[in-house]
Structure 1
C-alpha cells in the first residue's frame, strides 16, 4: 500500500492538530462535478489532476461507490486484508481528499448528492432544528427525537425541508447524462431526474448495478453516472470502533462484494467503458464512552436556554444569547482540547464552505464547539458510541479517493 501522510499534503490546512476542509481543491464537494466532467463538457473538473494519475478516464460509465465512514487512515490499514483496496492502489490510483465540515453523514452525503457545500445546502448535522416543525429532528432518517416518523407527527411535513440542495441529477439530466442512485430502501428516495434503485442489502445492489452496466453498454445507451451508497462500515464503527474484529469483518464483506461484482464478474466490454471510484463521506475517530462528556453536567449548560444544541457530539452547535460566555465555559472545562468558533469566526473562515442559502441562515449557530478527541453531547445514548465523526481530527476529515478503469483493475 502506498504510504501517503495527508498532514504533509494538506499542511496548509492543519492548525494545532485540527484539519480543515480543502474547499475548492481536493475536497469531497468537488467529486460529483469532477466525475461528470469526464462524460460531459457541461461540468467543471474540480479535483486536482493527480486524483486520476495514470488512470484511463476515456469511458462512458461512471460508478461512484461511497463507503460511509471509511476514512483515509482506515483505508491505509484495511488494505492489508481487503483486496479491493489494495488493487485500487496498485492498478489504479488512491489519494487523500478532505471531507466537508461537519464531517458527518447528513452534511457530507448531501454534498456528494448535490455538489453543494453545507453552507449552500443548509443541512449542518444529524440533529437539526427544523423550522417548519419547530423541533429538533434526526435528519436523514427523518425521525423525531423519540424515533417516530416526522412526516406522521407533523402532518404534511416531508424531507424536502431538510435542505436547499438540488440533486446533481438535475444538472446531469440537462446535460444528457443518465443518473442512477442505488440507496437503501429505507431511505424511500425519490431523486429528481434520476432512476432510483432501492435495495435491501448491498450485495444485491452491487449485482443489480453490474447487470445494469452490462445492459447499458450492450445497447450503447450513452453516458451514465451511477452512485451507490453503503452504510455498513459506518454502522459497525459507531458500535465497536475501527480496530475491532467485527469492524474488520464488515470491511471485508462490503469490499469483497464490490470486488466480486464489479471487478471479477463485470464483462470485458462493460469493464472497458467503466470508471470505478471508491470514496467516503468521512472517517471515524475512536472515542472512549467512559470519558465522553454529557454537557448537562458542565457549566456551559447554564448558557443553554430553550433550544438544545444541534449537530452531533463531534460538531456541537449552540444557539445561545451569550456565545462568548458559553465559549469561556467550554475552555474552562476542556482547556486547549476544544476549539470554539463564534458565528463571525466560522463565517470568516468559511468553516461550512463558501456561499449561503436561506436554510443555512435559519440554522446557523451562535457558537460551534469541536473537541480534539471526545464526544460532547446532552444525551447519553449518543455518548455511548465508540466510533464518532463530525469533527476536525485527521481521522474524521481525510478520506480516500480511489479510481481506476475497471478493465485495468481486472488485469
Structure 2
C-alpha cells in the first residue's frame, strides 16, 4: 500500500486540514490551447509595472527568490538581514471576498514589499465558496490590486490554489473553478496590468485524494474522468480538468515540500537525489511504489505552453529532537536541489522559488516542525551560498 501524502504546511488562516491520499499513477491528458505569454490585455503601463513577471523570466534565465514569512512574528527587513539579501518576492494569504482584517494584513505586507523593492505573491482563498467571488467582489479586488500596482508593487495572484485537492471549499469542482478563475483573470488583466495570474494546483501524487471534506463523487466524476472508465481513480489526470486556459494564466505554480522519504512522516530524512526535478517532471517514484506517479507538470504547463513555473512554497522537514539526520544535512540537501545550477537545463521554465520560513506545529507529525532556512546564522549563511552558487537567483 502506498503511503499517505501530507498537504503543504498550514498557515493561520481559515482552512481545512487534511492528510491526503496515497502516492499513485495518473495518466496525462493534454489541453490544446496556446497563447503567447506576452500577449495579455492591459494598458501601456502594464510592462512598466511588471518588474519580475512572465516576460522577464526567459527559459533558463533568472529565478526570482521568494519567501513565505510568519508575518505575526517576522518582517521582511529582519529576514533580509539574516539572509544577507532581499528576496524578490514575498508571500502572503487572504480570503476573498476581501475582509477588512485581511486587507489590513495584506496592506502591511505590500508596504514592506514596496519599501524593499520586492513583489508580492498573494494567495486568495474563497473559503465561502467560488460563487461568493461575484462581479462585485472581483471589482473590489481589482481596485485594490490596481492601487498596489500604481504604488509600484507588482503582484502575482495565486487564486484558489490546490483546487485539484479535496480539502478546500473550492476543491474538485473543475467547471465552476475554471469559470471563476477566468472571470477573475479577465478583470485583473483589464484593470490591474501590474498583476499576473498564477494557476497553482497541488502536486498530484495522491490524487484524487478521496476522503477529504470536499472530494468529488468517484462514481459520478464528470469531466474529472479523463481516462473514460466512468469512475474517478488515480488513473485520471489530476491537473488537466482544472486548467483555465492559456489566455487566463500568466504563471503556473506548485508547492513542493520534502516531508521525508518514508511514511509515517516525522523522521528527519535526507531527500532522495533529484526528488524535486522528478516531482515536477512526473517521474518521482516513492519507496513504496515502482510506478510513474503523476503527469509532467513542468513539461506540459511550463515548457509546452510557454509559462514560467513557480515553486510557490518549499522547505525540508526537520523535527527538533526527533533524531535522524542533522538539520543542516536535511535542509542543505533540499536547497541544493532547489537551487542546483543544472536546473537551467533540467527545468528551463522555472522562474520563481519561495522558501517556507516558518516553525510551527504540524498535525501530520504531531509536533513542532522547523521549516526555516535562516533561524540559525550558520544555516542562513549556507542557504545564501546556495543561492549564490545557482547563478540564477535574483
Greater strand proportion:
1
Q: Does TM-score exceed 0.5, indicating one fold?
A: no
TM-score (norm 1): 0.28
What TM-score do the two structures reach when normalised by structure 2?
Answer: 0.29
> Per chain length, whose mean CA-contact separation is higher, i.e. which structure has more relative contact order (CA < 8 Å, sep 6+)?
1
